[in-house]
A and B are shown apart, each in its own frame.
Chain A
Amino acid sequence: MTYLTKPKLHHPTLKTNKVGYTRRDYEGKISTLCAGCGHDSISASIIQACWELDIQPHRVAKLSGIGCSSKTPDYFLGSSHGFNSVHGRMPSVLTGANLANRELIYLGVSGDGDSASIGIGQFAHIMRRGVNLTYVLENNGVYGLTKGQFSATADAGSKSKRGVINRDAPVDTVSLALQLGASYVARSFSGDKKQLVPLIKGAIAHQGAAFIDVVSPCVAFNNHEGSTKSYDHVREHNESVNRLDFWPTRDAIKVEYGEGTVIDLPQHDGSILRLRKIHAEYDPLDRVKALNYIAEHQAKGELVTGLLYIDPEADDLHAHLNTVDTPFNQLGAAELCPGTGPLEKLNASLR
């Protein structure tokens, strides 16, 4: 954590992407989170993913709830509009924003208190509705801003910094998202940027409800012996089922792997997600099998990470509602107001 202002000048030799931006152009304000916070690593991965995807920063809308995680949208994509809404209610605000303008990219950032406790209802329903977004849950199992209370994702048996053992069963947001119809479901670890950046890129390219649960240790309140969300614990129990590579077009794929070890998943925008299998038996195209696999490994104390499920044919809320292609916020009276003709007819029918 620092109070120094970031210099605005960029080094002239900084590399630019296809839309002419340097990686620095995707940064935001200096983080006010604790030094070593997992959330800052996630922000860095979001920055990296957007830069690599050649997204114009202002075409992204970033929305969040309340809490440490929900502060982070201020720390990346400084040229994007951001909305720090109310606790647990980011999903509804994002749904409305998405309806108003279908052309922007929507990034929802939330925490485990925000999504699994106060906002579990809204989390459930945005997944059900298939809103086209990337939902990043920065999951540390603890309430950081109010100093270390357990959250609903804390594992039963895990110990708080003050030595209290959590007896309540945890909410598993990944299984919930799978059950509720999310069409892209992943889990990762804030300390594994190599895994996380492609997962974020894949989620952004995905045209439906994409959910990523990112275990993100809280260095201040949940990084001790006995915690199941600490850096050490997660590194030890991380069970990655696959590795994702993101290819902007099919032509770009050059690397070849042995037969049966990769799955190519073409996306609506023409990009390709290539999954390299680590666990050969894991099938990310089967929702039910994915659920079972996660549950079995969870019972063994393993944290399954990677792209857990994808429906390459997914559609979104706009498709369900059959809305026009033009964003609603560009429609005026000429397009929306029926005028006096139909009104007179209506008056006549009401006599």
Chain B
Amino acid sequence: MKAKRLEAVNDFVIKFANVNGSGSASANELFARSILRMGVPVSPRNIFPSNIQGLPTWYEVRVTERGWLGRRGGVDLMVAMNPQTWNQDLAEIAPGGYLFYDSTRPLPQSRLREDINAIGMPLTDICNATYDDSRQRQLFKNIIYVGALAALLDMDAGAIAELIGEQYKGKEKLLKPNLNAMQMGRDYALAHLDCPIGLRVRKADAVGKKIFMEGNSAAALGAVYGGATVCAWYPITPSSSVAEAFERYCKRLRVDQASGKNKFAIVQAEDELASIGMVTGAGWNGARAFTATSGPGISLMSEFIGLAYFAEIPVTIIDVQRGGPSTGMPTRTQQSDILCTAYASHGDTKHVLLFPEDPKECFEFTALALDLADRLQTPVFVMTDLDIGMNTRLCDPLEWDDSRTYDRGKVMSAEELQAGKDFGRYLDVDGDGIAYRTYPGTHPTRGAYFTRGTTKDRYARYSEAGPDYVDNMQRLLKKFETAKTLVPKPLLTPAQHPARFGAIYFGSTSPAMAEALDSLAAQGTYVNALRVRAFPFQDEIADFIAAHSKVFVVEQNRDAQLKTLLVNEAHVNPASLISVLHYDGTPVTARYIVKEISAVSAALNVRPLKQDKAA
């Protein structure tokens, strides 16, 4: 029986199953970028192990003319290049979907599936016949299958050639063989395979001015634009590429032309304790400083975060979240550091969190975090995650306003001290809970103070007196209220029709949520959606919850951490909140959100009106 054939144009998922370290990553990215060049949005994701060589790795590309950048789920075409994962890869293909595999060694029918379309190409044979060197055979095999896919999917070979040309510009030795390999793959497919298959890429105009960038690079660039001069870090997946990108951008953008000297300092510290210590010392001394880390690093940094909170020192921390607890899932994504950052360290603490949705917001929020840390004299967290940080994502171009200056917050100058202005390091003169600070070395006789993690009075004198302690703790709360007026406001996406249900989401859930709202509306379920972009929560968030009978809180962790924070800090009735939780380490999909919300809303709709009101 012949399998049915999936038919789709510019709307399908292709997944590459490879072996880590085999050089597949650049070929796969070349494939994704070629589709972008054809004006069709793609959303690629690396699914990789905590390993350098040998373990399975996957690259999933969602081709989506409508621009749905969340993970879709399911696979329409599998490029199965890893015998280790054959069975699992085969099982993932949707009925009617396609399997592209290396047919050098004939496979018995029993190893295939009857309801899918198998496309064999003797890749190893072709490589062995063409190349002598084993490394070349491996690397060019990847380019050859990209060429074959171009034929199978009816892609524009010119776009691929153009990209190869850009990639190897000035490296003629590499350019030619790559172009040849791609062409060889394409020619073979056109001659021997049934081209095109039911899945096709057709030129469109849906990409526009959008850029294709990793969140970690964007955050690093935000630190450059936001004026960070000190970066202290300790390597940890998935955040290491933030510091590495910072170094790359600084070498291009922050070297003083005249002297050849650096307007930046990057220190790879001995551990996370030292990296946050350096950031704290630099912040205390008036330089803008940041660190990038992930959950285990936050655990280690907690002592210093408490010091920076209590001694009121600007600190910027980029937390690229991964699966926890403990070492957890180092190469998988989650939003599970919400509570451990919001309340990091012992004693009563609360910290400012920013939740970017994509690389563009990683750029903007990192620059903003440096301003907020100075303005509020406190730690500020940029809560990104592996899904945003380590995948190239299509987003709007980055923007900067050249008239923007840095907000260095309340810093008393030598002139003000000389003029006799009263300086109390922890004295709230403006009623916003934020006191003035001085940089060390400002004035010969005035403005010096002793910074400590112990309690003190308004003039920074050591004091364990109850009233002094309470006075200080209350001022810190007032400062946190001030933070509400400074952090990014939540963004509302109203449903097209009046809706009883609301949904709250944040960070990397954003693209899946947008798609889910569209699908829900298509099936007649209308949901108003609010994207929370920061903690502390503004009143708009509580008002939004109060305006709906039920509000779904969609998040990527097991324990509903944002919901907990909402109940705790926005004084929301927990009964009005329904959690939609996804936490298996893969990015949440629109399909999953739709399924969860549909199930609950269907159940709620059959309830008698009276009972629903009581809920």
Interface, chain A (partner B; CB < 8 A):
56-59, 61, 63, 73-74, 78-86, 89, 91-101, 103-104, 121-122, 124-125, 129, 317-318, 321-325, 327-329, 331-333, 335-340, 342-343, 346-347, 350-351
Q: Verify B400–A81 contact, CB threshold 8 A.
A: no
Set of chain A residues within 8 Å of B398, measured between Cβ atoms: 343, 346-347
Chain B nearest CB, measured from A93 CB (Å): 4
Name 19 interchain pairs, CB-CB below 8 A, sorted by A: A57-B444, A58-B442, A81-B450, A84-B450, A84-B452, A86-B453, A89-B303, A96-B281, A100-B230, A122-B270, A122-B273, A125-B269, A318-B265, A323-B262, A325-B259, A329-B439, A337-B404, A338-B254, A340-B401
Please, how many angstroms separate the alpha-carbon atoms of A293 and B570 in the complex?
66
Q: Which residues of A contact B381 (CB under 8 A)?
A: none
Nearest CB of chain B from residue A155's CB, rounded to whole Å: 28
Q: Is B239 an interface residue (CB 8 A)?
A: no
Please judge, given known A-B contacts A101-B286, A101-B287, whether A339 and B400 are in contact too, CB under 8 Å: yes
Given A94-B281, A350-B213, are A333 and B453 neighbors across the interface (CB < 8 Å)? no
Contact A328 B287 (CB under 8 A): yes
**In the complex, what distance in Å separates the CA atom of A101 from the CA atom of B101?**
59
B595 contacts the other chain (Cβ, under 8 Å)? no
In whole angstroms, how far apart are the Cα atoms of A325 and B260 in the complex? Answer: 11
Residue with the highest number of chain A CB atoms closer than 10 Å, among B212, B229, B402: B229
Are B262 and A322 in contact, with the CB atoms below 8 A?
yes
Give the residues in chain B near A58, CB-CB below 8 Å.
440-445, 448
- The answer to the question of B309 belonging to the interface, with a C-beta cut-off of 8 Å to chain A, is no
New A-B contacts (8) at CB < 8 Å, excluding given A96-B280, A332-B405, A340-B399: A82-B449, A96-B289, A99-B278, A100-B282, A336-B406, A347-B398, A350-B213, A351-B212
Q: Which residues of A contact B227 (CB under 8 A)?
A: 331-333, 336-337
Within 8 A of A (CB), among B202-243: 207, 209-213, 221, 224-225, 227, 229-230, 232
Would you list which residues of chain B between 437 and 462 have a CB under 8 Å from chain A?
438-445, 448-454, 462
Chain A residues with CB below 8 A from B401, complex form: 340
Which residue of chain B has the shortest Cβ distance to A73 in the bound complex? B450
State which of A89, A340, A342 has its C-beta within 8 Å of the C-beta of B253.
A342
Chain B proximity of A212: nearest CB distance (Å): 21
Known: A92-B269, A93-B281. A79 touches B221 (CB 8 A): no
| Contact call B289/A85, Cβ cutoff below 8 A | no
Q: Is B262's CB under 8 angstroms from A81's CB?
A: no
Q: Are B281 and A340 in contact (CB under 8 A)?
A: no
Most A CB within 10 A of own CB, among B445, B452, B453: B452
Chain A contacts for B440, CB-based, 8 A: 58, 61, 80-81, 97, 101, 104
A99 contact from B230, B271, B404, B445, Cβ within 8 A = B230
A73, chain B: closest CB distance, angstroms: 8
Q: Which residues of B contact A91 (CB under 8 A)?
A: 274, 277
The 5 closest A-B pairs by CB, nearest first: A92-B277, A96-B281, A329-B286, A100-B287, A81-B440
**Contact present for A331 and B263 (CB under 8 Å):** yes
B226 to chain A, nearest CB (A): 8
Q: How far is the CA of A249 from the CA of B98 in the complex (A)?
A: 83
Write out the residue numbers on chain B whose beta carbons fall within 8 Å of the beta carbon of A338.
224-225, 253-254
How many of B's residues come within 8 Å of A, CB to CB?
74
In the complex, which of the residues A85, A103, A122, A351 contacts B211, with contact meaning CB atoms closer than 8 Å? A351
Minimum C-beta distance from A53 to chain B (A): 16
Nearest CB in chain A: distance from B44 CB, A: 14
Tell me whether A347 and B282 are in contact in the complex, defined as CB-CB below 8 angstroms, given that A89-B273, A332-B405 are known contacts. Answer: no
Q: Chain B residues near A323: list those with CB within 8 A.
A: 261-265
Q: How far is the CA of A28 from the CA of B210 in the complex (A)?
A: 60
- CB contacts under 8 Å to A, within B263-308, are 263-267, 269-271, 273-287, 289, 303-304, 307
Contact (Cβ within 8 A) B278 A95 = yes
Task: Give which listed residue, A103, A121, A124, A342, contacts B441 with CB less than 8 A.
Answer: A103
B83 within 8 A of A: no
- Asked whether A81 and B441 contact (CB < 8 A) given A324-B256, A336-B229, the answer is yes
| Docked-complex contact B441 and A101, CB < 8 angstroms | yes
Chain B, residue nearest A87 (CB): B303
> Given A84-B453, A96-B230, A100-B282: A333 and B404 within 8 A (CB)?
yes
**Would you call B328 an interface residue if the criterion is a C-beta within 8 Å of the partner chain's C-beta atoms?**
no
Task: Kindly state the separation between the CA atoms of A168 and B117 in the bound complex, as whole angstroms.
Answer: 71
Q: CB < 8 Å: which of A79, A86, A321 contacts B448?
A: A79
Across the interface, A331 reaches (CB within 8 A) one of B229, B273, B448, B453, namely: B229
Given A122-B270, A342-B253, A350-B213: A86 in contact with B304 (beta carbons within 8 A) = yes
B397 at the interface (CB under 8 A from A): yes
A95 to B227, CA, bound (A): 19
Cβ-neighbour of A324 out of B263, B282, B307, B405 (below 8 A): B263
Residues in A with CB closer than 8 Å to B448 are 58, 78-82
The answer for the CA separation of A322 and B289 in the assembled complex, in Å, is: 18
- A96 near B283 with CB under 8 A, answer yes
Contact A85 B269 (CB under 8 A): no
Q: Contacts A82-B451, A95-B281, A96-B283 given; indicate if A104 touches B212 (C-beta within 8 A).
A: no
Asked if residues B307 and A86 are in contact (CB atoms below 8 Å), the reply is: yes
A71 CA to B398 CA in the complex, in Å? Answer: 48
Cα(A318)–Cα(B303), bound, Å? 27
Contact status A343-B400, CB under 8 Å: yes
Tell me whether A97 and B274 are in contact (CB under 8 A): no
Contacts of B462 in A (CB 8 A): 74
Taken together as a complex, chains A and B put the C-alpha atoms of A340 and B304 apart, in Å, by 35
B445 with A324: CB separation less than 8 A: no
B207, B270, B402, B449: most-surrounded residue (chain A CB, <10 A) = B270
For B276, the chain A residues whose CB sits under 8 A away are 92
A100 to B230, CA, bound (A): 7
Which residues from chain A contact B209 at a C-beta distance below 8 Å? 347, 351
Contacts of B438 in A (CB 8 A): 81
Docked-complex contact A324 and B269, CB < 8 angstroms: no
Q: How far is the CB of A330 from chain B (nearest CB, A)?
A: 8
Closest CB in chain A relative to B612 CB, distance in Å: 49
Q: A86-B303, A340-B400 are in contact. Are A104 and B450 (CB under 8 A)?
A: no
Q: What is the CA–CA distance of A190 and B265 in the complex, to the nearest angstrom?
A: 37
In the complex, are the beta carbons of A96 and B278 less than 8 A apart? yes
Name B211's closest neighbour in chain A (CB-CB): A350
Residues of B with C-beta under 8 A to A98: 281
Question: What residues of chain B lie closer than 8 Å to A318, measured between beta carbons?
Answer: 265
* B-side contacts of A331, CB under 8 Å: 227, 229, 263
| Docked complex Cα distance between A329 and B230 (Å) | 10
